[in-house]
Amino acid sequence: MLAVDEIEALSGDPSFMTSLARGIAVIRAFSERKRSLTIAQISQKTGIPRAAVRRCLYTLGQLGYVSSDSRNFSLLPKVLSLGHAYLAATPLPVLAQPFLDRVRDTLHEACSLAILDAEEILYVARAASTTRIMSVDLSVGSRLPAYCTSMGRAILAYQPAAELERYLATVELRPRTGRTISTRARLIEALEQVRACGYALVDQELELGLRSLAVPVRDLSGRVVAAMNVSVGASRCSPPEMEAQFLPVLLGASAELGMQLVS
């Protein structure tokens, strides 16, 4: 969904500030693959008129969040302060980091923690390995589609029925590879399997050559608040090997972390 569609859907609310929503949409238009954008490109990505994009960029530039070379615009490090406010306000990333580090050191593979944010997963903590296995270098703040990632499915599978239905009604199930589950029926079936076995294994659906195994993280009330995963190169580890070697370690770390999370 274009940002403008989401904004227009809320425009009837007299308390809704359209200009603020547009500014946030402009910031979110930037990504790791498109770190420098023109006004026309941002307008195309968001659906927001060029004149409004120009005003948003001017304002963000005056506040120190955006720089430009007259035609191309880029985010400045000050944008990180917006995300830091969230990380500073929630104990989850801080509490999780020792467990991620332990999983990484035990399995010698990168271990990550993510939450569900609208139609994407948001990486909130990560213990990186020295081996990069994705074309995009993941870090805290990175976003990926929920439907074709192991952490996304490990969270989606336990969403309340109404929340899951809202997600399925709006998400675009775009094939990322030839193996991606990209129909509603197949995704529902995959989520039912996650609930049945308690973990999600995604085999080269996000990116060819990448396998990922994730488990849900529950707080003390039993509510799933995040997911923890390990990703490996497909040539190095088969799905049965991941289930045998990685799953017990992930389940143990997730359970211990959950004991520290108050709802």
- Ordered DSSP codes for 164-219: HHHHHHH-----SSTT---SHHHHHHHHHHHHHHS-EEEESSSSTTEEEEEEEEE-
pLDDT of 91: 81
Nearest to 107 by CA among 7, 6, 218, 249: 249
Helix/strand/coil for 112: strand
Q: What is the pLDDT along the chain (263 residues), one digit of tens a residue?
A: 567 788 888 878 889 999 999 999 999 888 756 678 999 999 999 999 999 999 999 999 999 999 998 789 999 988 877 776 666 666 888 899 999 999 999 999 999 999 999 899 999 999 987 665 555 567 888 889 999 999 999 999 999 999 999 999 999 999 999 999 999 999 999 999 999 999 999 999 999 999 999 999 999 999 999 999 999 999 989 999 999 999 999 999 999 999 988 76
Contacts (Cβ under 8 Å, ≥6 apart) of 96? 113, 124, 125, 217, 226, 228, 257
Phi, psi of 119 (to 5 degrees): -100, 5
Residue 114, token pair as written in the block: 């993510």
Which residues in the chain belong to E strands, given as ranges?
A: 36-37, 66-68, 73-75, 111-117, 120-127, 143-145, 200-203, 210-218, 224-233
pLDDT of 74: 93
pLDDT of 11: 79
pTM of the entire predicted model: 0.73
